[in-house]
Every structure is written in structure tokens, then in C-alpha cells.
Amino acid sequence: MSADTEIERNICDFLRRNGKSTALIIAKEIGPDKRTVNKHLYNLERSNQVFKTDEQPPVWGLMEKKNEIKPELKSQTTRDTSEVKDVEDLLKRSGGLKAHQIATDLGQPKQTIKKQLYSMMDKGKVQKCSRSNMWTLNEEWSHDSFSQERLSHSFDVIAKLGQGGFGCVYEVKHKYDGKIYAVKRVILTRKADSEVKALARLDHPNIVRYITCWPSSDNWTSNQERNQVSNTSSDAVTFERDGSEERDDDDDDDDEDEDVTSGMESLSVTESASAAAEPSGNNRTDSLDSSNHSGTYLFIQMEFCEGGTLTDWIKARNFMEKQRIIVEIHKIFYEIITGVEYIHANKLIHRDLKPDNILFGADGKVKIGDFGLVAAQTDQNGDPIERSNRGTPTYMSPEQKNKKNYDEKTDIFPLGLVWFEMIWKISTGSERVKLWPDLRDQRFPEGFSDSCQTESKFIMKMLSYSPEHRPHAKDVKEKLEKFFPLDQNLLSQKTV
């Protein structure tokens, strides 16, 4: 019995014993990670062995009672594999198509093709542009890809952790030291240069640790994806990823607020890489110019945070898979604010603080990541900088949304939202949609201020419309130390 077949049989056995369940719960019980379980659940769904509900996250159940995966299902699997290859070949030839165009070309119903495309997207094979609804093939899955299983001669790819307008992040294993790392691939621009410089100068236990970086002209992404990422602002084009917030990240790479490397030498690109990346006939004056998106990438190697994201932590408690423990909440938020205090002390602004960008190391310690929008607090003369409205709209401060001058206190506003999310259960997406505008306007749901009196006062100040009325990160940290016990091991674990 193959390993894949055994995993799928274990999934069926679990659902038979326990009834309907989510991928996360199944993964915790039978061993593989959630991503692997999801892949096999969709395989089982295509072979009509399991079904899923429309809830988010989906709840899975057995279609019918079966003792094992039957051999006669092999023909269905073969048929599915053939259909996937037909879609891959069509996208490879065309460069990108909408679902109805694929359905017409292949003579298949549109709903069948859409189901196939979303299944392929779950596996990282294709991606969908949220503005044009165009589907494109990820190059690492195409047959003539430079390398399907590795990022370079030094790494083996384990999984793609995320993808969006920012680029791709991979979980990789180093071939020589055997350790697991995260490698982020971005187009080499001035913005990428700023991100690396910020990571290199920040050395703190609550910030994702930077290892090294290197430029490369290797074409690990399709021409279509590269053109979408480089030629269109991300507030217009974003790629869908489950559980992620849309980030308003325009591609104005020469904005003054992106320059965090004043007085420091910029990343150099090797002559061969530059030549390979430069289109014939173009006179390139700046290797980091925003117009140079023709094939030079920057790969950023960082520590791998195997504890997941704060988004995962919040979801597990919203869906009652784990309890909210008040001391744990205060301890986590204390580590977040400690990391932000360090960023601000280094005269930087993160500008994209949200649960997706707050991770946990193997030891459970908070690690702040994704410095793709990092900016200097002032210009070289110490004067305010006119800034753009980059960030994630649902978490951005009012001044960051309105393109006004703003300083490091713009990071305090989203932290108020994050702290609230950690404390208060939000059961459904519709509840969140209704609650969020009120929360941004300092209006808490009924019962919050009574049950969390001290926290609500601090969060209220952090969510002040005017940045002048918000506390500095160091002030929030001092208040946490003064008003809340932070040692989880010495105190009774009160739940909320």
C-alpha cells in the first residue's frame, strides 16, 4: 500500500469513527500536516468518497460507508489525472484563460472546470487573478520548469507556504546542513532591497531571523505571473490565498517612504544576472529600478517559524478547538509589542501588522515577519515623509489609508485590532463584517468592556483616530508589565 493510499484510508477511518470534521482536526489526529490532509481530502472528494460543506473552514464527511479505498476507483483517478493534464497543457499554451474559455476549449461544463481549477489551486498548480478572473499556471508545476522540486542547488522545496502580490514563500530543507528554512522569492526592486536591509539590521528574539539573500535570474515563475506582479499595482491584482487578507500594496517602488537604506550600499546584482534579466536593446540605468521586472529575483532566506501564524491561533479559538487563556493572550501580545518597540527604536515603521504576519517559532515565541512594506520614520534630514497608502485595508490606520504624513504610531492602530481579536471570539465571517467598522471607530460589542475592563481602556486609546492620542509601543509595553501578570507558568489559567 502506497503512503498516499494509507493516508486516505486513515482519513476515511477517522471520519467513519468520529463523523464530520475539519481538516485541521483530522491532521492533529492522524499525523500529517493540515496541507497534506487537505490535498488528500480533495482527492477523496473527486473519487466521491467524501463531501465537504460550504462552511469556512469546510467540514468534511464520508459520502458512504466504506472499509477501504476500492481498486475500481483507479479508473476515476486516471480520468481526473488526464483532465488535470488537459487543463495544464491548455494554460501552458495560452498563457492564461478564464474558466469559461477553458471549458469551451475542452468541451467540458463550466462548473466541472471551475471545480478542477480550485482543486489545482489548492495544490499550488494554478493561481487566479482576483480582478480579471484569469487563471494561470505556476511555472514550478509546468513540464519544462527549470526545477520542479528545488529553489537552487542548495535547497529542496518541501512546500509553498504562501503566494500573493508580494511573491512566494517556500518551506525548504538545506541539502547540506539539513535544517528547515523559509525562502521568500520576490522580484528584485528597490522595495525588495529595503526589505532585506531592514531584516539584516534587526536582530531581536521577536522578529523573524534573517539568514542571507541572493539575486538570481532563474525563471521559477511564469511570464504571465511575472507580468501581473510587476506591471500592475497589487491593489488592483491580488492572488487568492485561503486565510489571507488582501493587501493594498501598489508598486510605486521609487516612493521616498520606501527608502530605509540611506547611507547604506544597495544590493548588487552580478553582471551575468543583470545581463540575463535585461531585455535586448534596453539601456538600464538602475539595477533596482521599478521598471526592471524582466527576470531578476531576490531570494531571502529566513528562519522557518513552524508554530504557524497568529491567524491560525485565533481561528483555533474561534472554532472552539482550543480555549482562550487570558494569561497566554497577555504573554503573546507582550512579545508582539516588544518586537514592535524594537522596530520603532530602529527608526522603522512596519506598516503591515496583522495576524497573518505574526508567527510563532518552535518554542512558541512570537516572531514578527513580512517586512515588505517597511519604511523609515523620517527622511535623511529628520523631516516627515509624504507617504503612500500601502498596507492591508482592514488593518490600516486612518492616516495610512488617507495618504497623509504619518509616523510610527500608525503601527499602534492595527495592534489594537489584533489585541481585540485575540481576546474576543468572532464566530462567523458575517459577524466580523458587521463588527469590524464599529471596532475601527472605537465601538466595542456588548459585554466586551464589562468583561475586559482594563484591556478595553488600552485598546480604546490604541484605536484613537488621531495618532497623537495613541500611546507609543514602549508605553503599551510598560502598561502590560504594570497591569497584567505575564508568567503563564506561575498563575492560574483563567479563560475568557
Q: Are residues 166 and 31 part of one domain?
A: no
Nearest to 166 by CA among 2, 356, 322: 356
Residue 341 maps to which CATH number? 1.10.510.10
CA–CA distance, 292 with 278 (Å, rounded to integer) = 7
Can you name the residues that pair with 60 across neighbouring β-strands? 21, 52
User: Which 3-state string (H, E, C) describes the chain?
Assistant: CCHHHHHHHHHHHHHHHHCCEEHHHHHHHHCCCHHHHHHHHHHHHHCCCEEECCCCCCEEEECCCCCCCCHHHHHHHHHHHHHHHHHHHHHHHHCCECHHHHHHHHCCCHHHHHHHHHHHHHCCCEEEECCCCCEEECHHHCCCCCCCCCCECCEEEEEEEEEECCEEEEEEEECCCCCEEEEEEEECCHHHHHHHHHHHHCCCCCECCEEEEEEECCCCCCHHHHHHHHHCCCCCCCECCCCCCCCECCCCCCCHHHCCCCCCCCCCCCHHHHHHHCCCCCCCCCCCCCCCCCCCEEEEEEECCCCCEHHHHHHHHHCCCCCCEHHHHHHHHHHHHHHHHHHHHCCEECCCCCHHHEEECCCCCEEECCCCCCEECCCCCCCCCCCCCCECCCCCCHHHHCCCCCCHHHHHHHHHHHHHHHHCCCCCHHHHHHHHHHHHCCCCCCCHHHHCHHHHHHHHHHCCCCHHHCCCHHHHHHHHHHHCCCCCCCCCCCEC
CA–CA distance, 305 with 221 (Å, rounded to integer) = 24
Catalytic residue numbers, as ranges:
352
Q: Are residues 188 and 86 part of one domain?
A: no
Q: Are residues 7 and 22 part of one domain?
A: yes
Residue 126 maps to which CATH number? 1.10.10.10
Q: Are residues 173 and 231 part of one domain?
A: yes
How high is the pLDDT of residue 146? Answer: 35
Q: Are residues 283 and 163 part of one domain?
A: yes
How high is the pLDDT of residue 397? Answer: 94
- The whole domain housing 90 covers 72-137
Q: Are residues 332 and 230 part of one domain?
A: no
Annotated binding-site residue numbers: 184
Annotated binding-site residue numbers for ATP: 184
Long-range contacts of 483-488 (CB under 8 A, 24+ apart): 483/454, 484/330, 484/334, 484/454, 485/327, 485/330, 486/327, 486/330, 486/331, 486/334, 487/327, 487/331, 488/325, 488/327, 488/328, 488/331
DSSP E strands in 335-397: the ranges are 348-349, 358-360, 366-368, 375-376
Q: Are residues 56 and 98 part of one domain?
A: no
CA–CA distance, 170 with 309 (Å, rounded to integer) = 15
> Any idea which residue has 460507508 for its cell?
65
Q: Are residues 260 and 223 part of one domain?
A: yes
Residues 6+ apart with CB under 8 A from 321: 24, 25
Q: Are residues 415 and 394 part of one domain?
A: yes
CB of 189 closer than 8 Å to CB of 292: yes
Instruction: Give the chain's domain count.
Output: 4
How high is the pLDDT of residue 279? Answer: 32
Domain assignment present for 332: yes
> Any idea which residue has 526592471 for its cell?
292
Q: Are residues 193 and 116 part of one domain?
A: no
Residue 394 burial class via C-beta count within 10 angstroms: exposed 0-12, middle 13-18, buried 19 and up? middle
C-alpha cell at 171: 518551506
How high is the pLDDT of residue 140? Answer: 53
Residues 6+ apart with CB under 8 A from 318: 425, 426, 427
Final residue in a domain of this structure, among 303, 323, 339: 303
Domain assignment present for 223: yes
Domain assignment present for 492: no
Domain assignment present for 491: no
How high is the pLDDT of residue 38? Answer: 85
Write out pLDDT tens, residues 302-319.
Answer: 999 999 999 999 999 998
Rounded to 5 degrees, what are φ and ψ at 46?
Answer: -65, -30
Low-confidence ranges of the chain (pLDDT < 50): 65-74, 142-150, 219-246, 249-259, 261-295, 490-493
CB of 26 closer than 8 Å to CB of 14: yes
Domain assignment present for 493: no
| Amino acid in the structure at residue 138 | N
CA–CA distance, 312 with 28 (Å, rounded to integer) = 14
Q: Are residues 478 and 331 part of one domain?
A: yes
Final residue in a domain of this structure, among 268, 303, 338: 303
Q: What is the CB-side half-sphere exposure of residue 100 using CA atoms within 13 A? A: 2
Final residue in a domain of this structure, among 121, 137, 153: 137
Q: Are residues 474 and 369 part of one domain?
A: yes
CA–CA distance, 210 with 368 (Å, rounded to integer) = 12
Domain assignment present for 494: no
Nearest to 70 by CA among 123, 147, 8: 8
CA–CA distance, 120 with 99 (Å, rounded to integer) = 13
CA–CA distance, 261 with 191 (Å, rounded to integer) = 10
Domain assignment present for 256: yes
Indicate the pTM of the whole model: 0.59
Domain assignment present for 495: no
Residue 180 maps to which CATH number? 3.30.200.20
Neighbours of 224 (CB within 10 A): 20
C-alpha distances (whole Å) from 84 to each of 119, 141, 149, 491 are: 10, 12, 19, 55
